[in-house]
Amino acid sequence: MSQMLSTLQPDFAARFARLVEARREADSDVAGQVAEILRRVKARGDAALVEYTQRFDDYALAEDADWSIPREACEAAYKALDGELRDALELAAARIRAYHEAQLPENRDYVDAAGVRLGAIWRPVDAAGLYVPGGRAAYPSSLLMNAIPARVAGVERLAITTPTPHGAVNPLVLAAAHIAGVDEIWRIGGAQAVGALAYGTKRIRAVDVITGPGNAWVAEAKRQLYGVVGIDMVAGPSEILVIADAQNDPDWIAADLLSQAEHDPTSQSVLITDDAAFARQVEDCVELQISQLATGKTARASWDAHGVIIVVNDLAGEAPALADRLAAEHVELAVDQPETLLHKIRHAGSVFLGRMTPEAVGDYVAGPNHVLPTGRRARFSSGLSVLDFMKRTSFLGLDDASFAQVGPAAATLARAEGLPAHARSVELRIK
């Protein structure tokens, strides 16, 4: 049973604060285990990968053919797909590609009023590593959401790591890899795969950026390796916030809440509404739907431990402030005028406008990326984009006239900071 809160409760502020501050992510034990895995991968390379893959996936990396999945297998998986499913993947890929092509930044090159030439050039990284889960969450949609922006950015080498427990391969993941044009697929998972991509081994060349979802060990490995490589984000358990009035079908809202609860027992689903009777209806619908879900055991664990329903007096007046404190990964605005709330909410990974825009559409075919900040990180970070696979190099150029305008000030500031060599490099050029 979910937790029911009301802003009329005298202890609401304290209870909501506990909700905001609750952490559903890796503990220190995971951090220590990951540090040891990364240390061994860095020191022993492929030998460590063989040991960890045998231990965790019950799969032997013996001959070269055991390590990777060839492109021909990906093409065969694509051709073997049911036509409707293949069309759905192609539609998703096309929409994701179009949305991310519109994100490509423009180079700048101009001369300012002082005559100084200024600008910046955007370039892709050379290689990107994409982590694709293979356990509880083996999702071709995540592969498309990670690989396509990298390709749009211009990344030349895309290397995937994905666990294949007992040697089993998900054909949908292979088909998605074919659509996205992935270069390499390695049969390695967990923190050890992230370490291999970051450090490189005899078989697996290092990459510049690592993106993609994973379990607590994968997320912690990315956190520890940031700086060795770039990462998209440290992702935690999925979450959804639905802001809904009583004009909604409670079955729809219940299904939206469960769309995240079924991901993992640590996922969180929150409803904010201004109608207590509607809140109880949604709660009843959640209970009924959980009993009918193939993923009901996971959804039940999530809903009972982390599900929350909040009843407010004034939806438009109170919900935005609560939403900003939660800074949720997904925010649904199931109201008549979602635009009003959209512009009041500052912190959200992605916002879904209106009653006919369930978060699940965004997971697959809408176009915007579904790799989004969790754990209140939407306060300071954004979803995956082409910019995660690019870097900007600034440039500037001066001639005699423009140097005469700005050079003396640079020398003055250098002297003030106690850096005489800086000052002298400027002063020698002053005529």
Active site amino acids: 329-330
Closest CA to 302 of 269, 272, 331, 256: 269
Q: In what order do the strands lie in the sheet with 117-124?
A: 108-111, 117-124, 390-397
> 219-241 b/e with 16+ CB inside 10 Å = b?
bbbbbbbeeebbbbbbbbbbbbb
Neighbour-count burial of 354, counting CB atoms closer than 10 A to its CB (0-12 exposed, 13-18 middle, 19+ buried):
middle
Tally Cβ neighbours within 10 Å of residue 109: 11
Residue 124's nearest CA partner among 395, 388, 394, 396 is 388
Tell me the two tokens of residue 327: 């800074």
53, 188 in Cβ contact below 8 A? yes
Close Cβ partners of 407 (under 8 Å, ≥ 6 residues apart): 398, 426, 429, 430
Burial of 42 per CB tally in 10 Å (0-12, 13-18, 19+): middle
The Cα–Cα gap between 371 and 350 comes to 10
CA–CA distance, 247 with 128 (Å, rounded to integer): 46
**C-alpha separations of 28 from 33, 153, 217, 374 in Å:** 9, 36, 11, 19
- CA separation for the pair 170, 147 (Å, rounded): 17
Per-residue tokens: 77: 């998986």
φ/ψ region of 241 (left if φ > 0, alpha if ψ in -120 to 50, else beta) reads beta
Cα–Cα distance for residue pair 6/399, rounded to 1 Å? 66
Spatial separation of the C-alpha atoms in residues 237 and 226, rounded to whole Å: 20
Maximum Cα–Cα distance across the chain: 83
By CB atoms closer than 10 A (0-12, 13-18, 19+), residue 193 is buried
Phi, psi of 132 (to 5 degrees): -120, 115
Question: In whole angstroms, what is the distance from residue 311 CA to residue 380 CA?
Answer: 27
